[in-house]
Structure 1
């Protein structure tokens, strides 16, 4: 009867897990911020409580990989060319009333963002501090006095700053933790690996998906209404405005507003269907370039093999060395996505090819919002290395993998380890 209750409970929990697919227009309408895709700010409100571990089991080690926190757009130019266009239009009296208002908002935003292209924002710092604090209080047995933590990031500054924000919060909560920080090319072969073969596939010049995507983007980018709402002079539009590029430029600025401190918005410029269509395009781009697109035949997901090996090796080291509390790794969306896929978390390895099908089964913002992360929590019973259990968290929510267990979300480490070792051999 007890086993039957475990199975029933596990089935109910699996059914309640958040779906990574089946995104609908209504979901985007209910929360317009989700149309930002990978610019979606970390959704703190969606955290869930931890399922109690089986009797006698206590956490002792955490393996982690996290995306950097919220950032500004990747370059100052992503803001500046749009601002310059509106400034020129204002000088030529070519802006509508709405267009003049948009320029005022852009000028306000520029005061914050100028010189910060690709930098971590203050919100990005707070996100990692919050994740670290929740981790500390959810698994206090891990972070006891004099325990060691290895923290490594890619050599990109926003990742290193995310790492420090995270580690310093842990150190604030327990000053006796011993944390080593490293951001070095030495570790890039697993923190941010991309094979030559995968680069050929994901390239927007050599990728076999490019022409199909080009047509898909044209079909889903309808800029005339937006352009005419902002510019009143047809001659100015003809001479200076690329409506397609303008729509995308404003989309990215609108999407990134939730990640910065300036309190204004540009979502009023778009209709709901326009945002949904633009998001479909970028969702597909991130899927084909980072996940398990059918035509890629696994070569993109294979980029995460060296990271998975590091996770397995680091776990074995921690199991045999009780002084190790955690291994923290910090990188990018293009690392978290293939890792989630190779781990088979919540069906993140789903494989389709048609652009119009992707949003039905896979959604970027559900996997890699800003500061998106994967955690593997290790548990021992009676401080024994026998029968170790693990559970997986995707953005701090309990996740499933395709192994049987009657104590979900907890899986037997030996079975998990063997499963992933077999994947590494494929």
Structure 2
């Protein structure tokens, strides 16, 4: 056996002592996928040169933290547990699960899918951070905002706009919401070919194989004293329903930990497979480019408004255009723009590959947002910078020449985005 020197032993000890240690609670929280509350900085500072002034902001945001969208998973799990309880077959963990469902139902009653107080704070904080980048721009001017018709999205819009209005009484903000904006904010509902693909597309068969291989059976089997009547497929379906409930507890402000039913590794396996489903349904992937194409109208709108803001005399166009939707709004858009580092071939598609490079908790948490900034030089030339979730990103990340640049000219940005649109063109509604 190869012996370690004293120096090596000392270095290992130092690394172990200084490495950040995640508590069990933090480990579970990092695995909540799209139900992860956004992590926001305390302050934002312009990363562009002082010589550039902010002229206009384009914002596309997901609604903030919410309660569980419906009680379907709760009712399904409740029905199973009640049946097992009647047969005297519930273990201690099963009884705890029944109590957990009672708590969730009581705390969420009448508020399924509603924005939480945390969600309102998220949107208000993002608005305040945006304002702080250029108080001069937002001191006085006109802002147009729109949202999908879903109440939690509408309330997210109002929370954001109210925070801006509180920052300056001279702003004029016009808001609108409704199904008229589905083509932009709900492409997953608007375009029938894409809607059909999401439900029963070519991704389903390989995903189902991964699901059968990866989803743990232990969490469901441990709910019962005698689990012999429970098939693996049934146990896996129950585990995913449990995960779907528990991943939303932090956002809802309900203090229930998954640790009573899942090990960290089991919870991670559910998170990884859930992440894969999101990728296959909502992003350009080896089985379809429909997700990217569905976001073409929204990207075209972003390009158009950037150009209009650039060409209009100062203060004669909106200082900002705001749009509020869902994670399924942002996922196709970010994919179409090439801002996420993942367009895999079929033979490299796996849950772990996707998890490591396209993690929904990182890219699409609650209140996730993309902001495009139009910047003007003293000589009048226009540039574009971008932020994803309050962190600078390269606006033309997919471009081989401009991909590493955090600031690009408006002309280069348009060229890059139009190249992406040519690769993934718009589709017809039917």
> Does residue 135 of structure 2 align to residue 140 of structure 1?
yes
1:414 paired residue number? 411
- Measure the CA separation in 1 of the matches of 2:220 and 2:164: 48
> Does residue 302 of structure 2 align to residue 311 of structure 1?
yes
- Measure the CA separation in 1 of the matches of 2:230 and 2:266: 22
> Does residue 334 of structure 2 align to residue 340 of structure 1?
yes
* 8 Å contact from structure 1 (residues 294, 351) kept in 2: yes
Instruction: Please give the TM-score of this superposition, normalised by the length of structure 2.
Output: 0.83
Show the 5 A alignment for 1:185-200. 185-194=179-188, 195-200=191-196
Instruction: Please give the TM-score of this superposition, normalised by the length of structure 1.
Output: 0.84
Name the structure, 1 or 2, with higher relative contact order (CA <8 Å, separation 6+): 1
Count residues in correspondence. Answer: 390
Q: For the structure 1 residues 175 and 407, does the alpha-carbon distance in structure 2 shift closer, same or farther, using more than 3 Å as the test?
A: farther
Name the SS of the counterpart of 2:32 in structure 1: helix
1:35 paired residue number? 31
- Measure the CA separation in 2 of the matches of 1:27 and 1:203: 37
- Measure the CA separation in 1 of the matches of 2:418 and 2:410: 12
1:4 paired residue number? none
2:48 paired residue number? 53
* 8 Å contact from structure 2 (residues 34, 364) kept in 1: yes
Name the SS of the counterpart of 2:31 in structure 1: helix
**1:247, distance to aligned residue in structure 2 (A):** 0.9
Show the 5 A alignment for 1:59-138. 59-138=54-133
1:398 paired residue number? 392
* 8 Å contact from structure 1 (residues 303, 338) kept in 2: yes
Show the 5 A alignment for 1:231-380. 231-234=224-227, 242-296=234-288, 298-319=289-310, 320-323=312-315, 324-347=318-341, 349-353=342-346, 354-356=349-351, 357-380=353-376
**1:218, distance to aligned residue in structure 2 (A):** 1.1
Q: For the structure 1 residues 92 and 346, does the alpha-carbon distance in structure 2 shift closer, same or farther, using more than 3 Å as the test?
A: closer
Name the SS of the counterpart of 1:345 in structure 2: coil
* 8 Å contact from structure 2 (residues 220, 236) kept in 1: no
In the alignment, structure 2 segments of 5+ residues that lack a partner are 1-21, 424-430
CA RMSD of the aligned region, Å? 2.7
Deviations 1:70-89 (A, max 9, x none): 22222122223323443454
* 8 Å contact from structure 2 (residues 44, 129) kept in 1: no
Most deviating of 415-424 and 323-332: 415-424
In the alignment, structure 1 segments of 5+ residues that lack a partner are 1-25
**1:352, distance to aligned residue in structure 2 (A):** 3.5
Deviations 1:25-81 (A, max 9, x none): x99996322322111111225x78545322321112110100111222221222233
- Measure the CA separation in 1 of the matches of 2:404 and 2:221: 58
> Does residue 417 of structure 2 align to residue 423 of structure 1?
no
* 8 Å contact from structure 1 (residues 95, 232) kept in 2: yes
- Measure the CA separation in 1 of the matches of 2:403 and 2:85: 66
* 8 Å contact from structure 2 (residues 28, 258) kept in 1: no
Q: For the structure 1 residues 267 and 253, does the alpha-carbon distance in structure 2 shift closer, same or farther, using more than 3 Å as the test?
A: farther
**1:412, distance to aligned residue in structure 2 (A):** 1.1
**1:213, distance to aligned residue in structure 2 (A):** 1.2
Name the SS of the counterpart of 1:129 in structure 2: helix
Name the SS of the counterpart of 1:164 in structure 2: helix
